[in-house]
Amino acid sequence: MPNSNDAKAYHFPILVAPASAPTPSSRTSQSQYHHYIPRFILKNFSDGSHGMEGDPQIKIHDVRSQRSSQMNIGKVYGVQNMYRDLKSDDCMQFEKLLGKLDSSAEKFVNKILSGSRDLPLTRAGLLEFKKFLAIMMYRSECRRKQYTEDLFDMPTRLSILRHMRLNNIGSMQEVWFENLKWIIKTSMDDINKEVPKLNLMSGPLAALAYNGPIHIAEFMDFISLTMHYVCIWQAPKGSEFILTDNCFGCYEGPVGITLHIFFVISPEYVVVMAHRAFMTGSGPLSGFLEGSWFKDFHASPDCVHAKKNVRSLDDFTPEDVFKYRRIVIPKEKVWLVNSIFLDARHKFISHKSDAALYRSLVLYEKDEEKLFKNKHDYSVLKRKLFVEMNRTHSA
């Protein structure tokens, strides 16, 4: 059984020019702002206010300066020149592919937000949506920072250096981008063909001998994510999910086991990738499953197969349709998800309702069971919210 410290929030990394920068003629030169959280998600947290340029605004609390403000979504949760010192042609091609993936994911997100009862998604669409979620984690400021500042333990660092040597890659920054490019441009069929080369059945040492187009650690993370199944959680009336710079990919579980991985899409909804073991509830992870904070909130989708007689996996087709449904979770669980985000944040917190964030801060502050490892001090933010709520109530 996991203890209370087994549930933790996790996430990933910004780009810095290498010591010997390539010539400007072959690299990106025009300054550009790149979002690591898509605009179509950010706009869901807008309270309806707009900036001078007509851009929707959201509330931003900077945990470093302790300042709260309204900001245009075009200037938050992003990085200036994310692809600095990378080839212009590569970046343009990548942005085009990323735009296509974002557009596909946005359509499914809009279905969720629409309130319609059925949430259909083809098998092919599901794989692309999972790829989008993986890209969301991998593009984050925290994840990229691991590569630009070499924030790895020694075994991982050595494996990255080996990967660079075998693939003629000049810097860790390029490893990050090459991994990202390969995931987004490679079809899921071709990705699945690469999996047997990991030789996982022969043990971890055999897997470390893998030599492929993507670094092994990121490849295994990606495969692990796609093996989870999608659930859609809805916050009940009177509660809301919050947004942070580091919330995409936060998870519940002991080290190395991701029971639930969280992806916020609006104040009302969060997409959750649940460990496949929850489908059976048995096996070597049964103790961890039973100790999960969210063990009761799963629903497998109905599946409409394109073929009438399905007898084996060979009868599955890309045109099969999964029909998802929303799971309304208790308010206390919403505050708990938010508390995971609050513990994992690095720079920014956004919310739509002051009351929703305040209640989450109250739960996080109490934490009598010592569930969270970082225990950030939110006393200033909590006081600001309390004053604002009283002002609004008395107005």
Whether 27 is in a domain gets the answer no
Whether 12 is in a domain gets the answer yes
In this prediction, residue 369 carries a pLDDT of 65
DSSP 303-353: EE-SSS---SGGG--TT-EEEE-EEEPPHHHHHHHHHHHHHH-SSEEE-S-
- For residue 162, the SS3 value is helix
DSSP 188-241: HHHHHHHGGGG-GGG-HHHHHT--SSS-HHHHHHHHHHHHSEEEEEEPPTT---
Whether 121 is in a domain gets the answer yes
d(CA 291, CA 4): 9
Closest CA to 69 of 261, 332, 327, 351: 351
Closest CA to 244 of 51, 17, 58: 58
Q: How many structural domains are present in the chain?
A: 1
Q: In what order do the strands lie in the sheet with 269-274?
A: 251-252, 260-264, 269-274, 229-234, 326-328
In this prediction, residue 198 carries a pLDDT of 81
Phi, psi at residue 117, to the nearest 5°? -65, -50
Whether 26 is in a domain gets the answer no
Q: Which domain holds residue 300?
A: 4-20+32-394
- For residue 243, the SS3 value is strand
Q: What angle do CA 185, 179, 270 make, to 5 degrees?
A: 80
The structure tokens listed for 215 are 């670094």
In this prediction, residue 371 carries a pLDDT of 79
Within 8 A by CB and 6+ apart from 46, the residues are 56, 57, 58, 73, 352
Q: Is the dihedral of CA 110, 114, 115, 120 positive or negative?
A: negative
pTM over 0.85: yes
d(CA 27, CA 24): 5
Task: Please list the pLDDT of the chain residue by residue as tens digits (395 residues).
Answer: 333 334 433 333 222 222 233 333 344 446 778 889 999 999 999 988 998 788 999 999 999 999 999 999 999 998 887 776 566 667 777 888 888 999 999 999 999 999 888 899 999 999 999 999 999 999 888 888 899 899 998 988 999 999 999 999 999 989 999 999 999 999 999 999 999 888 765 555 656 678 899 999 899 899 999 999 999 999 999 999 999 998 999 999 988 899 999 999 999 999 999 999 998 887 888 889 999 999 999 999 999 999 988 988 889 999 999 999 999 999 999 999 999 999 998 899 999 999 999 999 999 988 766 778 888 999 999 999 998 888 765 55
